[in-house]
Structure 1
Amino acid sequence: MPDDVPLEEPPRRINHVGRPGYVTNPAGPHIWDSLRIWEILLFVATLAPATIILLGDLPVRDRVIVAVCLVSILPLYFVLGRPAIMAENRRRGAVYIALLILLFIPATFITSDVTFALFGLCPQCFMVFPTRQAMIAVIVLNLVPAISYLFLEPEPSWFGFLTVTLIVIVFSWVFGVWMEGVSRQSRERAELIEELMSSRAEVSRLSAERGALAERERLAGEIHDTLAQGFTSIIMLIQAAEARSDPARHLALAVQTARENLAEARALVAALSPAPLDGSTLDEALVRLADRLREDMGMTVTFTVRGESRPLPPPIEVVLIRAAQESLANVRRHAAASRVDVSVVYGPETVALEVHDDGCGFDPAATGGYGLRGMRSRVEQASGSMRVRSSPGGGTTLIVEMAE
């Protein structure tokens, strides 16, 4: 079977948090890194005025009320705000914003210095709601200090009041539109990443299926060219023996064919087994293959190493072992050779396997066997190259070259 092609882990569902900077994808920063920016702004916008007011000259009771209101916004955020933002729970978010406004109102009516907190509170509205709903909450937040200004100031300036309120609302609207655009881009980017991950997993799956299909095609050809033909010959010989008065000759040929078929079956099973590395080096594995051929066929088989031998990546070793197995199996079945030379050539960035026999040879352009096609497909899938030089009566040389 083909080398196992590990499928990548199926893409997990990406959590699209529709807020600025929230793109939760495996290649980007985690969502908490983006959320931390807005949390820091909320911390500064609430703790800074609370600290200034505590150190100010207001009555102690007013200072305590203002500080408690502002500081209470932080635990409210962690209990309701953050879970609502992460889960995009609008109902829970509405409760969070409502309680936030209720905490902000009494502090605003005590002192206008708390308006600095709006820098941290307004973004919270856009993080919980879409732009339109967020604008309503922002307007309410900004009207609170405006109304308190009208009540607390003995002679309020209507022009200043309207100007400041209009500027804050317009700024909030522009800020909200910007945040909505960033949010949309973040979601689109997250969806694109998810699609790319799905496509990559699909490509890996199809690649594995293609390899399995190619190997099944190779096995079908091997069985057709060897075992099926052998069994057909055996049947024909036995039928011929039944028609003869002296079947000894045909039966002997049938037994010989059956033995050859058994050897073919064993060779096919050996080719399907895992590459015979067994923790040894590529050179040692090739030596064992050469020794096995010499013992089985009684021919001269040599093995040489050119260049400095070194460990290779496992996929390259498997391809070279498979190529050697297939090449030596072809020598065993078809070459009628008396000598086989196997060599490995280690280059600076490449390694090549060469198998040469002095057998009958063949015409590479006219061959219809599945073995060479399957071998070439396996080598090319591993980004290697394969060359076959042969001619009738001139022997055969096979060269497989792999880049590390």
Structure 2
Amino acid sequence: MTTADGHAPDEAGTVQDSQAAQIDGTWERDVRWWDVAFYVIVVLSALALLTADVRGTALVVSLAAVGVILVGYVGWGRRAARTRNQVAAHVYLVVAIACTLVVVGQDALGTLLLFAVFTQIWMLSERLWTQVVLCVVLAAGTALALAFDPTTGRVGVAELASTAPQMGVALAFALSLGLWTAHTMRQAERHARLVDELRATQAELARSHHEAGVLAERERVAQEIHDTLAQGFTSVVMLAQAASADLDRSAPDAARERLALVESTARDNLAEARALVAAAAPAPLQVGTLGQALRRLADRFTDETGTHVDLEVADVLGLSSAEEVVLLRSAQEALANVRRHAAASAVVVSLVPGGPAGAGFPGSGDGPDGAAVVLEVVDDGRGLGPGVVEGFGLRGMRERVAASGGEVTVHGTPGGGTSVRVELPVPGRPPAPVTSPAATPAPRSTS
């Protein structure tokens, strides 16, 4: 059996035991038992020779051959069993086969050594053809040694005809058992390596998923900060600048109103920051419905910018918290873009289930068939100029909506201005009537 390196790195870069290493550990333990079995067979073979009718030179030669086998195993075979050194293994096997044939040639009791030598051929040699050749040589040599007559120095034909079938059976048994054992051991090693590869793949997949999760969470937090804290700080800066301008023109009451808005915006930002740290729902959705959150968003936008917001919210029921977050963040981003780029005098924000949005402005688009919720923010500002490039906020809005299976459409309106339409699919939910138009229609742009 070919050894493995026995180690595989885990996710943290440390070294852990692998299946191949466990097989190697089992092999080390088994080799010690093979040592014991070999020594027992050799000792029993020597005792059998001593207690049999082997006398004189034959006994001395037999015991000397057994001693050479024992020394060869201690010198080469035992080390080869642990290091898998094939040179040492084959040197020992050649010595063991030769000495076994010598012992068998002196007395038939020498065949007891075949139990050890046949086993060691399959245990020490790692090439199939070498194993088969050595087994054939051992079996054929044993048949000749049994048929050898020391008194005449010749091989008896009758004796050979008698011993050859017996050794043929022994050879067949040794080959079949050895091939089956070798196949089983190789299959076990192959399976162990496959398990190691599977574990390595699982570790790599877990690492990739972890990195992807970290990246996705980082992007989510970045988008949340952009949609909430960054916009709130922008409002604080603009309001502080307006308050300074009011003080410069000796309008303390107006400055006081601006500072009150600064405080309110800062408190809202602090609540959003706490919700973000706690991974909770947005602060406006924790204290009310989506419609109420949109109303507060529209009122604050009007207070901060002076731009009139006409809000139309349908009675949309059954939205999940994730869908509400998507719609609220989309409205925040759309109004932030109106603040930064549109120079609008009026905005319409509408939320309807599967109906046309953008009331008050022509050409804002037709609604879907009722299996969707539509949020649309339409302004009467300067519209989309040539070569407009989407920024981080709009790209983040598209990604957020797309993750929920929805779609974002941005286009100019015929009278000037821009429409941002968010459509989220909500299968099985029929459209509901508009129940709370909260403000008068916004005036059309005349520019």
Per the normalisation by structure 1, the TM-score is 0.56
Alpha carbons of structure 1 residues 219 and 76: separation in structure 2 relative to 1, 3 Å:
farther
Partners of 1:135 and 1:58 in 2: how far apart?
Answer: 32
Change (3 A) 1:370 1:67: farther
Distance 1:68 1:216 in 2: 78
Does residue 155 of structure 2 align to residue 204 of structure 1?
no
**Alpha carbons of structure 1 residues 364 and 225: separation in structure 2 relative to 1, 3 Å:** farther
3-state DSSP of counterpart to 1:84: helix
Q: Deviations over 1:93-129 (max 9, x none)?
A: 2222123234434433332311111111012112213
- Cα distance, 1:79–1:15 mapped onto 2, change above 3 Å: farther
Residue equivalent to 2:95: 99
Separation of aligned partners in 1, 2:284 and 2:64:
92
Q: 1:94 to 1:207 in 2, by over 3 A?
A: same
Structure 1: tracts of 5 or more residues without a match:
1-5, 17-22, 272-324, 338-361, 375-404
- 2:106 equivalent among 105, 110, 117: 110
- Partner in structure 1 of residue 195 of structure 2: 193
Measure, in 2, the Cα distance between the counterparts of 1:187 and 1:370.
57
What is the alpha-carbon distance in structure 2 between the residues aligned to residue 213 and residue 50 of structure 1? 73
Q: Tell me, in whole angstroms, the C-alpha distance in 2 between the residues paired with 1:227 and 1:236.
A: 14
Paired amino acid for 2:186? R
Counterparts in 2 of 1:33 and 1:265: CA distance versus 1, 3 Å: same
CA contact (8 A) 1:10 1:201 kept: no
Distance in 1 (alpha carbons) for counterparts of 2:210 and 2:327: 20
- Which residue number in structure 1 is paired with residue 43 of structure 2? 47
Equivalent position SS for 2:129:
helix
Distance 1:363 1:221 in 2: 25
Structure 1 counterpart SS, 2:23: coil
Cα gap change, 1:201 to 1:83, in 2 (>3 Å): farther
SS in 1 for 2:52: coil
C-alpha distance in structure 2 between counterparts of 1:10 and 1:223, whole Å: 40
Q: Does 1:249 align with 2:257?
A: yes
Query: What's 2:150 paired with?
Result: 152
Amino acid across the alignment from 2:233:
F
**Equivalence for 1:280:** none
In the superposition, relative to structure 1, how do residues 335 and 187 fare at CA in structure 2: closer, same or farther (>3 Å)? closer
Structure 2: distance between partners of 1:24 and 1:191? 10
Cα pair 1:11 1:194 within 8 Å, conserved: no
Q: 1:129 matched to which residue of 2?
A: 126
Deviations 1:258-306 (A, max 9, x none): 46545654665xx4xxxxxxxxxxxxxxxxxxxxxxxxxxxxxxxxxxx
From 62, 78, 81, give the equivalent of 2:77. Answer: 81
State the alpha-carbon separation in 2 of the partners of residues 230 and 141 from structure 1.
91
1:262–1:207: structure 2 CA closer, same or farther, 3 Å change rule?
same
Q: CA deviation at 1:333?
A: 5.5
Contact 1:14-1:194 at 8 Å conserved across structures: yes
The structural deviation recorded for 1:138 is 2.0
Shift of 1:201: 1.9
Contact 1:227 1:265 in 2 (8 A): yes
Shift of 1:69: 3.4
Q: TM-score, normalised by structure 2?
A: 0.51
Question: Is 1:335 equivalent to 2:286 in the alignment?
Answer: yes
- Paired AA for residue 81 in structure 1: G
Aligned equivalents of 2:72 and 2:243: distance in 1? 97
Shift of 1:37: 5.7
Residue aligning to 1:235: 237
1:58–1:192 CA distance, 2 compared to 1 (3 A): same
Alignment of 1:139-178 (within 5 A): 139-149=136-146, 150-152=148-150, 156=156, 157=158, 158-178=160-180
In structure 2, the residue matched to 1:367 is 324
Structure 2 unaligned blocks of 5 or more: 1-10, 289-316, 329-399, 401-447
Contact 1:51 1:67 in 2 (8 A): no
Q: CA shift at 1:251, angstroms?
A: 4.2
| Same amino acid, percent of matched pairs | 29
2:41 counterpart letter in structure 1: A
Deviations 1:74-95 (A, max 9, x none): 4543542244344433222222
